[in-house]
Amino acid sequence: MVTKEEDDEIRSEAAVVVLGDVGRSPRMCNHAKMLADGGFDVKIIGFYDSIPGEQITNHPRIKIVGIPAPPDFMDSLPAIVQLPLKLIWNFVTLLLAMAFRTSAFNLRVILMQNPPGLPTAIVCFLISLIKCSKFTIDWHNYMYSILQNKYNIADGDTSPKGKIVKGVSILEGICGKLSDYNLCVTDAMRRDLMKRWGVRANTFYDRPPTWKFRPTSLLEIHDLYSKLGEVPKANETILTRKSIDGSLTLLPDRPLVLLSSTSWTPDERFEILLDALVDYEEAAKNDKELPKILLIITGKGPLKAKYLENIQKKDLKNVKILTPWLEADDYPKILASADLGISLHTSTSGLDLPMKVVDMFGAKIPALALKFKCIDELVGDRVNGYLFEDSNQLSRQIVELSRGFPNRCEDLIRLKSNTREMKFESWETMWKRSAAPAANLTPPDNGFAKLRAIIQLSFLVIMILIPIHLAMGTFSGLFSPKP
């Protein structure tokens, strides 16, 4: 039975706004779960293109409110037409969802992901005023830097596109000042927000949630690879063997498993990995100490077909590449089966960190990461991974770490040990210590909730009654001169 106090708490609502694919926004889904576990009813508002994990879809306090993405035909329009049309489309659809699909009197928190800052922040700010909610921006990157990268626009560009991007940058900074609170993903971004726009933010690092990453058994790995069709023999997968008594062992001649999760976009320079694998192929022909490689690439994006075509042309004999479609709950399992993770993320702003590397550390596997401005806030070179700058360096690192695999690869064994022993706080711990107090992400007490609802209702009644009385002439006598 729900008590009166519990009922009041249930009615406290939070809106988590993602103007993107909800299923591919793990940080915002993690926010939603923590808010729901903390006593809020949560509405996740965004594009429902892919399904998040069961922790979100089966949570009794979380509801996903899908909004329609801009029509595909807009992508074929010139940028100077396309951008305003998409802004208008997103403004209208998001405003309608925020106005009518969230509580009128009990919406306490609006937490939005940036990018995109426009029109998301404007809509969230307006709704926060109307519904008296606290508005928080979680800065993952900058919208203007993504547009710069997409349209190949340099700083100071005075072309029409350049002026649009400059305008977006100015508005993005203004929106940051409209919010009540700001979170960001790195210390470098926190300093840049203050220097660039005068926006004060608190750093909240991504961390692996305990509900997503846990020790994975050989049976789970065996079953997963069987489902993927990697079964060369009966009772065997490419990695494991099941004996007559049902026990499982890793094959001594199994391939080294590399895993890269990519969005197949221009800011992830996938050709670096392809070139490195070609170099590895040549090295493996002349070095019997080098194992075969199984490269698993997860994710989807606009350049996937192009790169898959390039992969087929390479005709690799010592490297096998899989691009499986995975359910959300299978992703942690396949990560745990890998020996090394590879990140090709570069960041358009140079100020955010790859969530995929956080996932790798959550699964306790070391990472090889492309070097950029603030990656050292996450990856310690030769501690829990290696940093590389080009395909030659990546190829040398793969050769160095894989030689003698699986039992005589001392450098890889050392990296794995360091990663397992790494003091990496969980998402829950970091959220309760950093995000919740910094952005006041806790349900209000019952007295405040009732007082706020009374004030809102009174304000709305006054706003409705005044025009009616003005039309009826009720107040006309008050301003007429006395005879």
Question: pTM (2 decimals)?
Answer: 0.82
Beta strand pairing status for 107-114 and 240-242?
unpaired
Amino acid at 428: E
Of 358, 30, 331, 332, nearest to 207 by C-alpha is 358
Instruction: List the one residue out of 353, 221, 371 whose CA is nearest residue 296.
Output: 221
Task: Kindly report the backbone phi and psi dihedral angles of residue 457, in degrees, each rounded to the nearest multiple of 5, phi listed first.
Answer: -65, -40
Banded model confidence at residue 266, pLDDT cuts 50, 70, 90:
low
User: What amino acid occupies position 255?
Assistant: P
The predicted model gives 238-262 an average pLDDT of 89
pLDDT of 452: 56
What per-residue confidence (pLDDT) applies to 235? Answer: 83
The whole-number pLDDT of residue 7 equals 47
What distance in Å separates the CA atoms of residue 323 and residue 331, rounded to the nearest whole number?
A: 12
Residue 482 clears pLDDT 80, i.e. is over it:
no
In tens, the pLDDT along 2-23 reads: 344 444 444 689 999 999 899 8
In eight-state DSSP terms, residue 381 is: B
What's the token pair of residue 335? 């990560």
The mean per-residue pLDDT over the stretch 190-195 comes to 94
Mean pLDDT of 123-130: 92
Report which of 41, 46, 79, 85 is spatially closest to residue 63, judged by C-alpha positions.
41
By three-state DSSP, how is residue 331 classified? helix
Sign of the four-CA dihedral 416, 418, 421, 425: negative
Q: What does the pLDDT look like over 40-96, one tens digit per residue?
A: 999 999 998 888 888 899 999 999 999 999 998 888 888 778 888 888 999 999 999
Which residue is associated with the tokens 């192929």?
281
Q: Give residue 233's pLDDT band: very low, low, confident or very high (50, 70, 90).
A: confident
Which residue type, as a one-letter code, is found at position 387?
L
User: Which of 344, 351, 346, 301 has its CA nearest to residue 141?
Assistant: 351
- For residue 420, the number of C-alpha atoms closer than 13 Å in the C-beta half-sphere is 9
Residue 231 has pLDDT above 80, yes or no: no
Mean pLDDT lowest among 98-112, 314-328, 339-353: 314-328
For 185, phi and psi rounded to 5 degrees? -95, -15
Query: Quick check: helix, strand or coil at residue 19?
Result: strand
pLDDT score of 306: 79
Summarize pLDDT for 388-412 with one digit per residue, the tens: 999 999 999 999 999 999 989 999 9
Q: Tell me the DSSP string of 423-464.
A: ----HHHHIIIIIHHHTT-SPPPHHHHHHHHHHHHHHHHHHH
Q: Which residue has the higher pLDDT, 475 or 265?
A: 265
The torsion angles phi and psi of 294, rounded to 5 degrees, stand at -110, 110
Lowest-confidence pick of 54-58, 116-120, 208-212, 357-361: 208-212
Tell me how far apart the alpha carbons of residues 340 and 291 are, in angstroms, rounded to a whole number. 14
Q: Are 183 and 137 in contact (CB under 8 A)?
A: yes
What local confidence, expressed as pLDDT, does residue 454 receive? 60
Distance CA(238)–CA(226), nearest Å, equals 9
Q: Which position has the higher pLDDT, 448 or 304?
A: 304
Q: Are 128 and 104 in contact (CB under 8 A)?
A: no
* Residues 136 and 182: beta-carbon distance below 8 Å: yes
Place of tokens 């971004």: 189
